[in-house]
Amino acid sequence: MGAVFFDTNVVLYLLSADEHKANAAEALLAQGGMVSVQVLNEAASVCRRKLKLPWSEVHELLDAVKACCEVVTLSLATHESALQLAERYQLPLYDALICASAQAVGAEVLYTEDLHDGLKLGHLQVRNPFK
């Protein structure tokens, strides 16, 4: 398998009470891959807003992700590509931005629970790691 990209939901499952999903997320992330700055921002937001975690635990999660994943930046070109993907595939904009980021760095697999398992977006294959 080629390069992989992780969506925010996979990162957040590291904190899940669902042992199966937490273990699956941990095993996948331990193998390495890529995330975007957007993934880090979304994870931090959910940790603070929904999970009510203290900042120290937010930093601990983000540091763990950054230790095993390459973090890619967002660009205007990625934004433009995301708009095209959102329109063409009727994707929510932030999901399209994750897909565009994965495509921009040449990822072959996007692990996410948010999109249809098996969806092909050019060279990018969407996979639900919890199926």
Name the stretches of the chain with pLDDT < 70: 1
Give percent of the chain with pLDDT exceeding 90: 98
What is the model's pLDDT at position 96? 97
Mean pLDDT rounded to a whole number for the chain: 96
What is the model's pLDDT at position 1? 56
The residues facing 69 across adjacent strands are 33
**Domains defined for the chain, CATH in brackets:** 4-127 (3.40.50.1010)
* pTM: predicted TM-score of the whole model, two decimal places: 0.94
Alpha-carbon distance of 42 to 119, in angstroms, equals 23
